[in-house]
Amino acid sequence: MLLKKEHWKILLIDDEEAIRSVVSIVLADEGYQIVTAADGESGLRLFKEESPQIVITDILMPGIGGIEVLKRVKAYDPDKEVIVVTGFGDMELAIRALQSDASDFVTKPIENEALLVALERAKKRYTDRKALNNYTAIIEERWMDTAEELARTFDFQKNLIESSIDGIMGCDRDDKIVTFNRAMEKMSGYPKGEVVGKMHLNEFYPVGAAEQFRKELHSDAYGGKNRLFLFETNLLPKNGMKIPAQLSATVLKEGLEEIGMVCFIRDLREIRKMEQQFADQTRLLHQDKMISLGRLAASVVHEINNPLAGILNYARLMIKILKRGVFEQEQSEKFQGYLSLVERETDRCAKIVSNLLAFSRKSKMASGEMAINDLLEKCIMLSQHKLTLQNIKIAKGFGADIPKLWGDLSQIQQCIINLIFNAIDAMPEGGTLTIVSSHDPKMNVVEVSVEDNGCGISKEDLPNIFDPFFTTKIEGKGLGLGLSTVYGIIDRHKGTIAVQSEAGKGAVFTIKIPVKG
């Protein structure tokens, strides 16, 4: 039986005060007891002091992140339920959280209905787990002489085990199945009548998997000897198609003798499907980046041709001077001047190529400090030839004393490059591209605006421009992922992006990213 709402205590951990305030009001209005924390460290301290049944934690936080909070909560008390809150594009972390036994996840912006549904599921898992633990303890304490007595004791499953979301399978000392709930029937395709008292545990595993399961069960690797916690394996259902599963198990003993086992099984097919979708999304996003890279490469080739030609001419000139033999002081000074020019132009080429390589690199989000004005200069340098070729002038308005941002420089660079390329496409006959940076001390955010005086965006298209695969370009000119990529990256940095535009009147994209601390 579920507890009344006023008996449920929920710990909310999020570094954004606005989210803590809104969610607390919603849950308090639903009758729950709420305690909140602004970071993982204080959240874990409150968890030990307040002992809530359910923890709701943001995944991305300074210091101790949500995944680590989940792991420590489960290590301290595996019976507690954890719901993780993810931002746009954090599906990989959400999948890792589910694999670490999170009960559910909700995405930002948090919708009340989705949060309340996730809470109901977490409450159900918590009460089921508690009842099953109590039941397992009773079984372990009782003396049972026969498999029939073990099966009769499991009659309790009608109201408890049968309603569990996870599959539950119990066997006697001979590995013969004596408990097989509805979730296992659905997962395996076997009706209970074909299984209980007729099939053995080994028949539900591919060749070799049962032996590995037994080996890990009796080791200390997954929760202690004779206990298995969150072990991933494959099950063999009736149709013969392997099912990825997460398995927890407990050996039942009478004294020192094993008399049976209880297994709790979670179907991982949906998680694997989400992993594949995430991989596909990552591939598409990288493909869009490579399209931008191709356009950049063409620009960079022309951009470094001039300095390379200069380097070559000066090198030839110096070789000619050296062939004449010993040269005078005047020639020596010229020689040093030539070398300085070669060094300067070589350094310029190296910076251009280095920026291009950094942009092209496929990597996970790696946070660090970055100076926004330096980053904007790099983006302009990489795009300079393309801008010149299309008769587009650059107007810069970089603010002074802008504090450094904390985030992934490569990904923010990708955002700016995408916005510059969109502006270039919007001005096929040339124009002016204005890039401005500033710091708003009141909001403590860094602002970057990219403005063009091109064709603008129609009123009908404006609401859709950040949607994945939406594009107004002709086929073969883009995947429609550029602006959705920008939106996702800025959201992951807890920033915002907005656009102002009218058809025929250009467009202004404004990015705001909070300053760390």
Q: pLDDT-based confidence at 1, cuts 50/70/90?
A: very low
pLDDT at 299: 55
The answer to whether residue 481 scores a pLDDT higher than 50 is no
Q: pLDDT-based confidence at 396, cuts 50/70/90?
A: very high
pLDDT at 159: 62
DSSP state letters, 133-198? HHHHHHHHHS---SHHHHHHHGGGGGTTGGG-SSEEEEEETT-BEEEE-HHHHHHH---HHHHTTT
Residue extents of the structural domains in the chain: 5-124, 142-267, 274-514
Torsion, Cα of 100, 104, 107, 108 (10° steps): -90
Please work out, in degrees rounded to the nearest 5, the angle formed at the alpha carbon of residue 237 by the alpha carbons of 236 and 241.
Answer: 75
**Closest Cα partner for 417 from 259, 299, 251, 249?**
299
φ and ψ at residue 30, rounded to 5 degrees: -80, -5
Q: pLDDT-based confidence at 502, cuts 50/70/90?
A: confident
Q: pLDDT-based confidence at 124, cuts 50/70/90?
A: confident
By mean pLDDT, which of 37-41, 203-207, 450-454, 475-479 is the weakest? Answer: 475-479
More confident position, 296 or 110 = 110
Q: What is the CATH number of domain 274-514?
A: 3.30.565.10
Structure tokens given for 184: 């296992």
Read off the amino acid at residue 317.
L
Mean pLDDT of 479-494: 71
Q: pLDDT-based confidence at 478, cuts 50/70/90?
A: very low
Site of tokens 């002709």: 474
The answer to whether residue 92 scores a pLDDT higher than 70 is yes
The answer to whether residue 277 scores a pLDDT higher than 60 is yes
> pTM above the 0.95 mark?
no
Peptide bond into 403 cis (omega under 30): no
- CA 122 – CA 307 distance, rounded (Å): 63
- CA 181 – CA 376 distance, rounded (Å): 60
- CA 517 – CA 513 distance, rounded (Å): 12
Is there a common fold for 142-267 and 274-514? no
| pLDDT single digits (tens) 163-186 | 777 888 888 888 898 888 888 888
**CATH of the domain spanning 142-267, picked from 3.90.180.10, 3.30.450.20, 1.10.10.60, 3.40.50.880:** 3.30.450.20
The answer to whether residue 187 scores a pLDDT higher than 60 is yes
Strand partners, 83: 56, 104
Mean pLDDT of 90-103: 76
Mean pLDDT of 338-356: 70
| pLDDT single digits (tens) 215-272 | 877 777 666 677 777 788 888 888 888 888 888 888 888 778 888 888 888 888 877 7
Mean pLDDT of 455-464: 81
Most confident listed range (193-197, 282-286, 408-412): 193-197
367 in Cβ contact with 418 (< 8 Å)? no
More confident position, 397 or 224 = 397
Give buried/exposed letters for 327-344 (b at 16+ CB in 10 A, else e): eeeeeeeebeebeeebee
Give buried/exposed letters for 183-215 (b at 16+ CB in 10 A, else e): bbbebbebeeeebbeebebeebbeeebbeebbe
Q: pLDDT-based confidence at 480, cuts 50/70/90?
A: very low
Fold annotation for 5-124: Rossmann fold (3.40.50)
| pLDDT single digits (tens) 284-324 | 555 655 655 565 565 566 556 656 766 776 677 777 777 77
pLDDT at 513: 93
